[in-house]
């Protein structure tokens, strides 16, 4: 008898916790897939059978006419929003309901994870954003340009030293080393030399940040060993000598110390700055490396686009007597077009999210719809890559076509269907810096080399199933062939 009671209890508990949660969206009249018990829609990711982007793409494609789709991350219901106007409401008009991002750890958890700009919430996020914004003004970008330009010259020199007609490379590795050098010099004020040193500690730790199994360890190493020492030097230099060093973290510290008397800023300490310094590693290393790699892949497969882009770049170098400057780089329209199309097809972050912080009602717009109550603490997913590949917004979306972003065409694009840097108040704070870095790299590389496919190039390129961000599966093998200058 006792065994039957226990068995019945197990069945009830299994139903309540493993089966019933999978009907959450269906009970509310929201379209959903057929989830697996316990694993929801995440089981393919759990088994490494598909990427994160692919999971949300499947949900997105369920019904081309639906504005929303319900999905399950294991047993947790999550709402995917497809409609551009609904995205505008959630991220802009009604942003106070969706101000925060996904809370991965409790607020009293590891400060290196919870105190950076991504993990912070509400007023703490606003205070930190205020501290960080001065790092990305136009004047600071011009200053950073010189440091990035130096790294680009080093990259070209490194490739030029190779004694091959076509220098074969793994893009994610070699561009990652370039990005690492840029982060070291622009964010922390020192030269890492990752390009020349294959075992460079700074590069190895930066690379590990994008690896599921080693990321937490790397956060600890960088966060508790390297970054605090760099910050300590910056604080002492400013407080003792009032030295103004033009790299990002030092600019943040200057702004932090100069405003420390205000009540809002008093709540921020060097630990908070340290936590955000870690994000420079992740955002500057991973997203830039993947975008440069994917754009290089597209240029290798489209030599006509590459040739036209090289013409513009060569003309720019000629205009500034062989030494690229910030103003000339920013004027390159076709370079802007090619980068914009690369970000459309290969956004570094294939999705974004918002956390509902108070109950919100989605009002019906079609006759077959009914009001949907979004409960507090429910997660909203913004499927950036899926929207970018939707033929309703971008005809023939698999085709790489920079003309989508020409002066004649770009105004036809709904701004809520092109989201490479997110939307609303919590968009990417470093987008201008990332674009400048990418432009500088391509200006120098295409001025000196032709990017070509090799026998090892994977065509079509496959997306990695091991990372949250969009990355090529095999690191992307390409070649650099020296340009024949006339």
pLDDT averaged per 10 residues, the chain (length 486):
68 62 84 81 78 89 92 90 94 91 63 67 78 77 90 95 94 92 80 77 63 45 44 46 49 54 55 65 79 98 98 96 95 98 96 93 83 92 97 97 97 95 87 94 98 97 87 95 78
Contact 42, 76 (CB under 8 A): no
pLDDT of residue 16: 56
Which DSSP letter does residue 91 get?
A: I
Contact 60, 46 (CB under 8 A): no
Q: Which CATH superfamily is domain 83-482 in?
A: Cytochrome P450 (1.10.630.10)
Ramachandran class of 342: left when φ > 0, alpha when ψ lies in -120 to 50, beta otherwise: alpha
For the chain, report the end-to-end CA distance as a whole number of angstroms: 92
Backbone angles phi, psi at 261, to 5 degrees: -75, -20
Contact 338, 295 (CB under 8 A): yes
Measure the CA–CA gap between 270 and 102, rounded to whole angstroms: 24
pLDDT of residue 276: 64
Measure the CA–CA gap between 344 and 296, rounded to whole angstroms: 14
pLDDT of residue 191: 77
pLDDT of residue 161: 93
Contact 397, 390 (CB under 8 A): yes
Is 151 assigned to a binding site? no
Sign of the C-alpha dihedral computed for residues 32, 36, 40 and 45 taken in this order: negative
CB atoms within 10 A of CB 373: 10
pLDDT of residue 144: 86
pLDDT of residue 216: 46
Q: Which residues pair with 78 in a beta bridge?
A: 71, 379
Sign of the C-alpha dihedral computed for residues 448, 453, 459 and 463 taken in this order: negative
β strands within 229-362, DSSP E: 352-355, 360-362
Measure the CA–CA gap between 117 and 272, rounded to whole angstroms: 9
Task: Output the six-digit token pair for 284.
Answer: 């500057």
Contact 194, 207 (CB under 8 A): no
Nearest to 222 by CA among 165, 173, 175, 280: 280
Backbone angles phi, psi at 388, to 5 degrees: -65, -25
Measure the CA–CA gap between 329 and 233, rounded to whole angstroms: 33
Contact 457, 300 (CB under 8 A): yes
Residue 223's contacts (CB-CB under 8 Å, 6 or more residues apart) are: 112, 274, 275, 278
């Amino acid at each position: 008898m006792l065994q039957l009671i226990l068995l019945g209890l197990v069945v009830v508990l299994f139903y309540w916790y493993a089966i019933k949660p999978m009907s959450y969206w269906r009970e509310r009249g929201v379209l959903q897939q057929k989830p697996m018990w316990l694993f929801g829609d995440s089981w393919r990711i759990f088994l490494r059978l598909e990427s994160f982007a692919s999971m949300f793409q499947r949900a997105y494609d369920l019904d081309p006419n639906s504005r929303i789709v319900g999905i399950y991350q294991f047993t947790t219901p999550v709402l995917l929003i497809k409609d551009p106007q609904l995205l505008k409401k959630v991220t802009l008009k009604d942003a106070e309901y969706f101000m925060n991002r996904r809370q991965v750890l409790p607020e009293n958890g590891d400060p290196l994870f919870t105190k950076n700009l991504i993990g912070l919430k509400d007023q703490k996020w606003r205070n930190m954003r205020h501290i960080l914004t001065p790092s990305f003004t136009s004047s600071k970008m011009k200053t950073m340009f010189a440091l990035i330009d130096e790294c680009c010259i080093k990259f070209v020199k490194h490739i030029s030293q190779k004694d091959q007609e076509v220098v074969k490379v793994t893009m994610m590795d070699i561009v990652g080393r370039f990005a690492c050098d840029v982060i070291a010099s622009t964010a922390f004020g020192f030269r890492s030399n990752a390009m020349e040193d294959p075992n460079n500690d700074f590069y190895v730790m930066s690379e590990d940040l994008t690896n599921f199994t080693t990321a937490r360890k790397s956060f600890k190493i960088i966060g508790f060993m390297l970054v605090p020492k760099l910050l300590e030097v910056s604080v002492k230099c400013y407080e003792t000598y009032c030295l103004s060093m033009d790299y990002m973290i030092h600019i943040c510290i200057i702004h932090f110390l100069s405003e420390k008397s205000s009540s809002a800023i008093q709540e921020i300490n060097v630990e908070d700055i340290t936590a955000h310094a870690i994000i420079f590693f992740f955002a500057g290393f991973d997203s830039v490396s993947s975008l440069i790699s994917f754009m290089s892949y597209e240029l290798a497969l489209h030599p006509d686009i590459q040739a036209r882009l090289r013409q513009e770049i060569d003309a720019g170098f000629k205009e500034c007597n062989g030494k690229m400057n910030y103003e000339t780089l920013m004027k390159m329209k076709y370079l802007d077009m090619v980068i914009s199309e690369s970000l459309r097809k290969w956004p570094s972050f294939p999705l974004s999210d918002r956390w509902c912080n108070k109950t919100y009602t989605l009002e019906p717009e079609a006759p077959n719809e009914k009001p949907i109550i979004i409960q507090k603490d429910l997660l909203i997913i913004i499927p950036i890559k899926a929207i970018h590949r939707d033929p309703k917004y971008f005809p023939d979306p698999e085709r790489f076509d920079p003309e989508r972003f020409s002066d004649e065409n770009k105004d036809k694009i709904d701004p809520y269907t092109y989201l490479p840097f997110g939307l609303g108040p919590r968009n990417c704070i470093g987008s201008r810096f990332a674009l400048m870095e990418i432009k500088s790299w391509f200006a120098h590389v295409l001025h000196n080399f032709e990017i070509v496919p090799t026998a090892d190039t994977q065509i079509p390129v496959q997306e990695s199933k091991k990372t949250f961000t969009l990355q090529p599966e095999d690191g992307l093998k390409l070649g650099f062939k020296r340009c024949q200058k006339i």
